[in-house]
Structure 1
Amino acid sequence: MTISRIAVVGGGIIGTAVARELALREPEATVTVFEKESHLAAHQTGHNSGVVHAGLYYEPGSLKAQLCRRGVEMLVQYAAVNGIPYDECGKLVVAHTTLEVDRLEKIHERARANGVPHVALLDRHEMREIEPNVRGVLALHSPHTAIIDFVALTEAFGNDVLAAGGRIEYNSEVARLDTMGNEVRVALAMPGVESKMTQDAGSFDLVVTCAGLQADRLARASGLEAEPRIVPFSGDYFLIEQPAADVVKGLIYPVPDPAYPFLGVHLTRRIDGALMLGPNAFLSMGREKYTRGYSKGGFDLGDIGSTLGYKGFWKFAKDNVKAAAREARTAVSPKAFIAEAQRFVPDLDPLTVKPGPRGVRAQAMNADGSLVDDFVITTRGRLTQVRNAPSPGATSSMAIAEHIVDKALGSLR
């Protein structure tokens, strides 16, 4: 079957990786990326911590584990060839209690089963040889966990698409996709028009959507399933600049608590040398609102109404009262936020800490209130939609792209 016209919706790291993979697989086709902003990586990709995960936590043999390890291998090679800064600064997952020690030992077993290289458990003295200022009773060391600039990586993917003869259409918000027998028609939202008027952007032999924070809305507008729904959670970071940032050499994480849906505050070196504290996780007042605090610019009444009107959210909230209370402390109190980080690094000086960026996480949720922890990819004929691409989505982007393109092209056979 001849494919000459391909469209990808979304210019984040997953969308551009998919577009690049399609351009490589189908060199005779023209790949068009539709991005509603004026630049790539405008949302989740451009507001994360930049961590390249090694694959410590995922169920051995699971798709997430496989794609993470494959993704890291591809990313290392791609970054080296394309001159993208990549720093294997290493990571410590630090336990403070007997219960956390038990959990950490299980994570160690899982990491080894996943093929994560050179992971080791360190006692309190050994961990301080890696991070002199850290405190804990046991740590899992992952020396090959790394950091990268995911925006630069996304831009490199975009340049590959252009070099292959593709196009990137900025300021082009896709409102709806109509699946016909032999094509998919793309309808764009009319710029500056509040109504539901659209304009035709043409027909394509194959379309893949990677719409992130808007994935559920685009799916419903295109006649696909309502679930899973996206519920946005914001995450605030604090920053410590050089030279005070050298209080931490790499990454320091808490042991995940299965009773909580989110990890909690951790310490992360950035590729520019700054140290990030965070993020916390709290219900966002808008899917694409990155203003800290609760000023007018941080609200979207439509998004708030969508979340509060969703029965799945209320079931989730009922089951996670303790988690909400924990996250609320750090959301409203910088002192509490910093104190969480000081549990791991007591020498951290609060006077060196300043407010940093905010990210918004596209948390996919089911109607029963459960969080969707795996990839969700739906296909209808020539239309493939990525409904959920959770962490380690950025790390695994190149491997995820392979997987998505396999499914998309396979649907045409």
Structure 2
Amino acid sequence: MERTDVLVVGGGIVGLATGMALAEEAGLAVTVVETEAEVARHQTGHNSGVIHSGLYYKPGSAKARNCADGRERMYRFCADNGVPHDRCGKLVVATSESELPALAELERRGTANGLVGLKRLSVAEMREVEPHVAGVAGLRVSETGIVNYTAVSKVYAAKIAAAGGTVRTGTKFLGCKRESDGLVVETTAGTIGAKLLVNCGGLHSDRVAKACGVDPGVRIIPFRGEYYELTPQAAGLCKHLIYPVPDARLPFLGVHYTRMIGGGVECGPNAVLAFKREGYRLRDVSVRDLLEYARDPAFWKMAKAFWWTGLGEMYRSASRRAFWHALRKLIPAVKFGDLVPAGAGVRAQAVRPDGKLEDDFFIRRAERMVHVLNAPSPAATASISIGRSVANLALAELGRAPLREAPPPSFFGATRAA
């Protein structure tokens, strides 16, 4: 039987960042198992590529603390490892007077979270930054940037290997049981003995926890975000990143424009319920996942609370014209023919038993285990910081000293599972 110190389930950016911290800094033997043929195939690989500033997050929250630390670590990592990136900045636009209080709240939060590049803009000042934008006021955020997170993840994986670890793709986690001297983990590539398991299973993180005998405390509900791109002829209408003022009740930022590191401008996403955990297309359906929805009281409580918003998202998903109208609120010059269908991503949204959406990081510790059950945006931006924080939780489980100059385990509100 193969043996390792730490087995990480999931080869997305958070799992790889955790493995990198444990291998490089803690000097542990690390094995990462990933079901797909390559790393970063799901949430990471379908990410919009934004390096978030930390503007939106409640001051003092795990999101805010990790984003502030992780953003600058990401910029340094990319510079040190030759990963193309651009600290291009973004513009948040209030399109009506009614949105001005929410814009002011964003400015307050950003200031509380340590952003120094914030600047409130008048209509004339907005037009100097983005000549085609429409609105009554704006907020310039200079710390925001763009990168390709798949490229970042591949460097993380290379660093794990260089430190003596292993990243096993095409290897599915099947189950785990405790024995007197550690854990026995079953995979499609054989049995692996480990001292500790870190669950970064993303869309399947709740199922991985259950397979380990741990109550996850949340249910993962997948939401598909669908995107368009501007045609090359229309891409010049957007020079940076342009966002609306978001609805504070929802963990989504609204339809926006994102200039991509590889060129072009992405528009979106809307957010609709996916009928499969890897449901990137409308026709992707899983009977198992649909039955779970039907039997889950938390799902119906969530649906009752957000049914009106959900209908609007579904309408925009079905109608390109409705999607176009949403985009034109920010840039009226965008024409219907300027939109080209692009890809989609699926967000692993954790839902509490009361039906409320879990908006912050949610982690459960158990004996010889750390389960990352909700790692929403800015998880990619802050992946180095998050990985080091999760590594510290793992080291605490092993009774070892924490990483030097790393956020303490209390950086997350991690709970102890039964």
For normalisation by structure 1, the TM-score amounts to 0.93
CA contact (8 A) 2:247 2:254 kept: no
CA contact (8 A) 2:24 2:159 kept: no
Shift of 1:93: 0.9
Shift of 1:321: 2.0
Matched, 1:102 2:96: no
Q: Specify the alignment match of 2:265 in structure 1.
A: 275
Letter in 2 for 1:392: P
DSSP-derived class of the 1:56 partner: coil
Call closer, same or farther: CA 1:260–1:401 in 2, change over 3 Å: closer
Q: How does 1:6-405 map to 2 (within 5 A)?
A: 6-27=6-27, 29-189=28-188, 200-291=190-281, 294-295=282-283, 298-405=284-391
Q: Specify the alignment match of 1:196 in structure 2.
A: none
| Structure 1 CA distance for aligned equivalents of residues 178 and 99 of structure 2 | 50
Letter in 2 for 1:370: K
Call closer, same or farther: CA 1:61–1:226 in 2, change over 3 Å: closer
| Structure 2 CA distance for aligned equivalents of residues 23 and 408 of structure 1 | 12
CA contact (8 A) 1:381 1:412 kept: no
| Structure 1 CA distance for aligned equivalents of residues 156 and 378 of structure 2 | 18
Shift of 1:4: 5.8
| Structure 1 CA distance for aligned equivalents of residues 4 and 14 of structure 2 | 22
* Structure 2: stretches of 5+ with no match in the other structure: 400-418
CA contact (8 A) 1:241 1:273 kept: no
| Structure 2 CA distance for aligned equivalents of residues 116 and 325 of structure 1 | 35
DSSP-derived class of the 1:78 partner: helix
Call closer, same or farther: CA 1:94–1:380 in 2, change over 3 Å: same
Equivalent pairs: percent with the same residue? 40
Shift of 1:232: 0.5
| Structure 1 CA distance for aligned equivalents of residues 60 and 349 of structure 2 | 23
| Structure 2 CA distance for aligned equivalents of residues 36 and 79 of structure 1 | 27
Shift of 1:363: 0.4
| Structure 2 CA distance for aligned equivalents of residues 4 and 97 of structure 1 | 57
Task: Tell me the alpha carbon deviations over residues 38-71 of structure 1, each in whole angstroms, 9 at most, x when there is no partner.
Answer: 0000100011111110000111122211100100
Task: Tell me the alpha carbon deviations over residues 162-192 of structure 1, each in whole angstroms, 9 at most, x when there is no partner.
Answer: 1111111111110112133431111114xxx
DSSP-derived class of the 2:270 partner: coil
| Structure 1 CA distance for aligned equivalents of residues 315 and 244 of structure 2 | 17
| Structure 1 CA distance for aligned equivalents of residues 179 and 111 of structure 2 | 47
Task: Tell me the alpha carbon deviations over residues 283-337 of structure 1, each in whole angstroms, 9 at most, x when there is no partner.
Answer: 001101222xx33xx1111112212221111101111122112212211101100
Call closer, same or farther: CA 1:22–1:310 in 2, change over 3 Å: same
| Structure 2 CA distance for aligned equivalents of residues 271 and 179 of structure 1 | 45
Number of paired residues? 397
Shift of 1:241: 3.8
| Structure 2 CA distance for aligned equivalents of residues 280 and 358 of structure 1 | 10
DSSP-derived class of the 2:92 partner: strand
DSSP-derived class of the 2:269 partner: coil
CA contact (8 A) 1:234 1:358 kept: yes
| Structure 2 CA distance for aligned equivalents of residues 254 and 325 of structure 1 | 20
Q: Specify the alignment match of 2:402 in structure 1.
A: none
Call closer, same or farther: CA 1:286–1:240 in 2, change over 3 Å: same
RMSD: 1.4
Letter in 1 for 2:176: L
Letter in 1 for 2:5: R
CA contact (8 A) 2:4 2:193 kept: no
| Runs of 4+ in structure 1 over 6 Å off | none
Task: Tell me the alpha carbon deviations over residues 136-179 of structure 1, each in whole angstroms, 9 at most, x when there is no partner.
Answer: 00111102200100000000000001111111111111011213
DSSP-derived class of the 1:348 partner: coil
| Structure 2 CA distance for aligned equivalents of residues 273 and 348 of structure 1 | 18
* Structure 1: stretches of 5+ with no match in the other structure: 190-198
CA contact (8 A) 1:45 1:150 kept: yes
